[in-house]
């Protein structure tokens, strides 16, 4: 992909203590499966984002490992119980070692 | 009108199914995972641990018109406490080039063992999800998805 993958994350800016919040994330990426062939019949090498990790105030809350069966522009939604104000950090790791990150703050009242 | 459309879809999917079968016979280099590959993968991950039914819910369309983007949600009943929670959910497909699809890893902080994503399905096949609890118990669910247009690329 010529452009750098852009992560987008949606989560509430504020929550009540103990509230269950849903976090939805999307990142632009081709997720080249390694199964396709180019016009000359040569296999196109695999290049996917193979892992996603979410931490809250430095502690891991959710993680997933992706295989080539994940669609292009991968979507990942999950839940977290809001306990205190702080910052989420989301990290996507590419097959080539690059990482893409997004940070989102939440205020818990 | 409605009946006509239904018949057309069924005929289309039959035709596509036949084409996919022919392709799989004629083009062995496009090898797909077999149900036995999923069994082997499960054996590798969990050994001989017994899998129970229930507790895990798979939310998938019965018919996916586009195999490139199939919405998938998993939901596991659990209190999600420090001592009793869902550690991971592994998802497999028995008709894709590779059996692995995605693995979700939860912490008790998640509050709810539920996650959604979008997956590629090369053809009509079974999706198998296995939930791994913190005490080592396993729960499995399986659902067939009929795919009208495969998402195998190429």
Give the model confidence (pLDDT) of B100-116 as tens digits. 999 999 999 999 999 99
Token digits of residue B22: 């022919």
A109 touches chain B (CB under 8 A): no
Per the rule left: phi > 0, alpha: psi between -120 and 50, beta: everything else, B59 is beta
CB contact under 8 A, B98 and A67: yes
CA angle B129, B135, B139 (to 5 degrees): 20
End-to-end CA distance of chain B: 35
Distance of alpha carbon A107 from alpha carbon B7, whole angstroms: 54
Is residue B1 within 8 Å of residue B136, measured between CB atoms? no
Token digits of residue B69: 């983007």
Sign, Cα dihedral of A16, A21, A26, A31: positive
CA angle B137, B101, B15 (to 5 degrees): 120
Q: Which of B98, B117, B154 lies closest to A37 in CB terms?
A: B154
Query: Beta strand pairing status for B51-53 and B138-149?
Result: parallel
Q: Which residues pair with B63 in a beta bridge?
A: B146
A16 touches chain B (CB under 8 A): no
Q: What b/e string do you get for B61-98 counting C-beta neighbours within 10 Å, with b at 16 or more?
A: eeebeebbbbebebbbebebeeeebbbbbbbbbbbbbb
The reported pLDDT for the residue numbered B13 is 53
Which of A48, A49, A67 to mutate to probe the B interface, most B CBs <10 Å? A67
Mean of pLDDT over chain B? 82
The reported pLDDT for the residue numbered B36 is 81
Distance of alpha carbon B30 from alpha carbon B44, whole angstroms: 24
Residue of A nearest to B66 (CA): A71
Per the rule left: phi > 0, alpha: psi between -120 and 50, beta: everything else, A40 is alpha
Q: Which of A64, A68, A83 lies closest to B105 in CB terms?
A: A64
Distance of alpha carbon A77 from alpha carbon A72, whole angstroms: 15
Per CB-CB distance under 8 Å, the chain A contacts of B110 are 61-62, 78-81
The reported pLDDT for the residue numbered B47 is 86
Per CB-CB distance under 8 Å, the chain A contacts of B154 are 35-37
Reading chain A (109 residues) residue by residue, the pLDDT tens digits are 457 899 999 999 999 999 999 999 999 999 999 999 999 999 999 999 999 999 999 999 999 999 999 999 999 999 999 999 999 999 999 999 999 999 999 999 8
Residue B23 pLDDT exceeds 90: no
B95 phi and psi, to 5 degrees? -130, 20
Reported ipTM = 0.93
């Amino acid at each position: 992909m010529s452009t750098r993958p852009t992560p987008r994350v949606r989560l509430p800016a504020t929550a009540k203590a103990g509230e269950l919040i849903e976090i939805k994330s999307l990142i632009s990426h081709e997720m080249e499966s390694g199964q396709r062939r180019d016009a000359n019949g040569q296999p196109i090498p695999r290049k996917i984002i193979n892992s996603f990790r979410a931490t809250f105030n430095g502690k891991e809350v959710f993680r997933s490992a992706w295989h080539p069966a994940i669609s292009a522009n991968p979507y990942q939604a999950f839940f977290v119980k809001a306990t205190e104000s702080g910052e989420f950090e989301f990290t996507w790791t590419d097959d080539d070692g690059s990482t893409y990150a997004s940070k989102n703050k939440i205020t818990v009242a | 009108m409605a009946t006509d459309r239904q018949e057309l879809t069924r005929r289309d999917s039959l035709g596509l199914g036949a084409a996919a079968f022919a392709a799989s016979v004629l083009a062995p280099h496009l090898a797909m995972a077999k149900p036995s590959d999923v069994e082997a993968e499960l054996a590798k991950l969990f050994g001989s641990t017994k899998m129970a039914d229930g507790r895990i819910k798979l939310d998938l369309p019965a018919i996916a018109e586009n195999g490139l983007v199939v919405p998938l949600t998993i939901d596991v009943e659990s209190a999600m406490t420090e001592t009793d929670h869902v550690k991971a959910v592994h998802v497999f497909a028995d008709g894709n080039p590779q059996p692995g699809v995605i693995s979700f890893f939860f912490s008790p902080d998640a509050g709810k063992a539920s996650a959604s994503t979008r997956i590629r399905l090369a053809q009509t096949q079974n999706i198998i999800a296995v939930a791994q609890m913190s005490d080592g118990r396993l729960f499995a669910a399986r659902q067939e998805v009929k795919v009208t247009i495969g998402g195998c690329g190429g």
